[in-house]
Homo-oligomer: A and B are copies of this chain.
Amino acid sequence: MKTYKIALLPGDGIGRDVTAAAKAVLEKVAARNGFSFAVSSYPWSCDYYLEHGSMMPANGIETLRSFDAILLGAVGWPRKVPDSVSLHGLLLPIRKAFVQYANIRPHRLLPGVQGPLRSENFDILCIRENTEGEYSGAGGRVHQGTDSEVAVETSVFTRKGVERILRFGFEQARARRGKLASVTKSNAQKYSMVFWDEITQRLSAEYSDVEVTSYHIDAMAARMVMAPDSLDVVVASNLFGDILTDLGAAIQGGLGFAASANINPNRSAPSMFEPVHGSAPDIAHLGIANPIAAIWSGAMMLEHLGETAAAGKVMAAIEATTARGIGSIPGKDKTDAITSSVLSALD
């Protein structure tokens, strides 16, 4: 029997609730489909930081490297540790160290879910660059604390980094409806974004079967709300992808439904699967977090591991659950009730 080694990082707040749910679903579907998981859980989080002075141990990255995949809940609890510290201490270094350069986030309405838009007909796959750009962490502050203080933050885009995410986007478009939207802000950012546009332009010749269109980020944000049905695959930088995928989560009914995969396409290191939502400290441990985004992220993990049939079964179980009105209305059902429904739908 094939056993996959999974590192579980529940993280903070509702991250713990929703990863417990996802783990239960994954273990059940594995048992029914002839494989299993060996799950090692690590308590790295803001609480861990308060105790140890760092979000993970010095050998954290090395510890994770030998796993087949990582399942993460959520990181951050601003009242305990500033977000700028907690995220740069755990989530962001994993994405970068394991070259998880493609962050994949699907946006569509699950059955029974009513989104905030009048329009219900869309199926968007956002591909977000996940290792560089506006999240490079380069910058500084001068004349700190004085009236003359200046803070600078530098976005760094490499040709390799931009080209590989665009190629990934073109491939995804090819495997779907053949349309790629590339998102920049080249009318205002004349170095980084013009660079990205040029590479998009050059690659489009190689993927002549894909219809590629460049949009400015502002126009794309409007389009996702005005005409989401006009979009297929959307590829964007780290920051723009971050913004568009929360917007995507919103139009699909809320953060409780938005799944994501941080993929290392070469498989030179583990990929990581996580719901798009944060740790939501205000509802932590009340047992009311919606686990669907985490379970859906688990399905993306199964897909990545090659367990396509099992992935399909988890998605079908999620859809059967929301179609029955369970977990489909934000705040209505408890975490356990939703999880039980998904588990029974697997029978």
Question: Could you mark each residue 234-261 of chain A with 1 if its beta carbon is under 8 Å from any beta carbon of chain B, else 0?
Answer: 0000110011111101110011000000
- When C-beta atoms are compared, the residue in chain B nearest to A85 turns out to be B190
Instruction: Tally chain A residues at the interface, Cβ within 8 Å.
Output: 68
Question: Could you mark each residue 165-200 of chain A with 1 if its beta carbon is under 8 Å from any beta carbon of chain B, else 0?
Answer: 000000000000000000001111111111100000
Contact A195 B151 (CB under 8 A): yes
A318 contacts chain B at the CB level, 8 A cutoff: no
Contact B239 A222 (CB under 8 A): no
Separation of A187 and B146 alpha carbons in the complex (Å): 23
A211 contacts chain B at the CB level, 8 A cutoff: no
Residue in contact with A116 in the complex, picked from B216, B226, B242, CB distance below 8 Å: B226
Question: B residues within 8 A CB of A154?
Answer: 139, 152-155
Residue in contact with A134 in the complex, picked from B160, B189, B226, B246, CB distance below 8 Å: B189
Q: How many copies of this protein are present in the complex?
A: 2
Whole-angstrom distance from the CB of A280 to the nearest CB of chain B?
A: 11
Whole-angstrom distance from the CB of A332 to the nearest CB of chain B?
A: 16
Separation of A186 and B195 alpha carbons in the complex (Å): 25
Separation of A278 and B137 alpha carbons in the complex (Å): 33
Contacts A153-B193, A187-B87 given; indicate if A251 touches B225 (C-beta within 8 A): yes
Residue in contact with A149 in the complex, picked from B76, B151, B159, CB distance below 8 Å: B159
- A residues engaging B (CB < 8 A)? 76, 82-84, 86-88, 92, 116-119, 134-135, 137-141, 146-160, 185-195, 216-219, 221-223, 225-226, 238-239, 242-247, 249-251, 254-255, 278
Given contacts A116-B119, A152-B156, 17 further A-B contacts (CB under 8 A): A82-B194, A84-B190, A92-B188, A116-B117, A135-B188, A135-B189, A147-B160, A150-B156, A151-B157, A153-B154, A154-B155, A218-B243, A218-B247, A221-B244, A222-B250, A225-B225, A226-B250
